[in-house]
């Protein structure tokens, strides 16, 4: 664990990029496997590499948002615009602020990048992505923001795998 934490501290953006490129793409693959009810490579190798690059780009946005919204909530408390928050309530406040302000941008950006990578013009069911901010990401990131800062991006990347599993079952063919 020390090696991982040291690596994240020494390379905050690179570690975020690598973790999301691998785990975010894995979440996409698992969703496709569940939907198709078979484990095959659903993308041609070049598309798979572009999917990894897509997640790498998203990781940079996410890393900055994690840092920025942690500071944002702290600044609101310092200026008496929020009460002094600790523990669960601080984590919950950061998660709500980030997911309600940054989340819609990320949902749209994710779909835009998906469309570019997959050469589609698919904007169907975008509302489901917005709803996931409420039922999945706010609770998930509340847990995430209860961790030390150096472990947060790793857990967020793992959550993207879990969301892939959930969405795969939700969208599977009957």
Contact status, residue 51 vs residue 25, Cβ threshold 8 Å: yes
The whole-angstrom separation of Cα 139 and Cα 4 is 25
Q: What is the pLDDT along the chain (174 residues), one digit of tens a residue?
A: 899 999 999 999 999 999 999 999 999 999 999 999 999 999 999 999 999 999 999 999 999 999 999 999 999 999 999 999 999 999 999 999 999 999 999 999 999 999 999 999 999 989 999 999 999 999 999 999 999 999 999 999 999 999 999 988 888 866
b/e per residue 78-99 (b: at least 16 CB within 10 A): eeeebeebeeeebbbbbbbbbb
For 16, other C-beta atoms within 10 Å of its C-beta total 25
């Amino acid at each position: 664990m020390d090696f991982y934490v040291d690596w994240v501290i020494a390379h905050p953006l690179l570690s975020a990029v690598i973790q999301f490129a691998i785990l975010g793409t894995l979440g996409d693959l698992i969703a496709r496997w569940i939907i198709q009810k078979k484990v095959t490579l659903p993308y041609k190798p070049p598309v798979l590499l572009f999917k990894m690059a897509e997640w790498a780009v998203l990781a940079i946005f996410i890393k900055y948002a994690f840092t920025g919204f942690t500071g944002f909530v702290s600044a609101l408390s310092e200026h008496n615009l929020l009460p002094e928050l600790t523990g669960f309530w601080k984590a919950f406040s950061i998660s709500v602020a980030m997911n309600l302000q940054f989340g819609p941008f990320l949902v749209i950006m994710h779909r835009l990048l998906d469309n570019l990578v997959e050469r589609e013009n698919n904007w169907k069911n975008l509302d489901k992505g917005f709803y996931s901010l409420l039922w999945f990401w706010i609770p998930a990131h509340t847990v995430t923001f209860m961790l030390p800062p150096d472990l947060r991006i790793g857990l967020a990347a793992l959550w993207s795998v879990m969301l892939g599993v959930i969405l795969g079952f939700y969208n599977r063919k009957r």
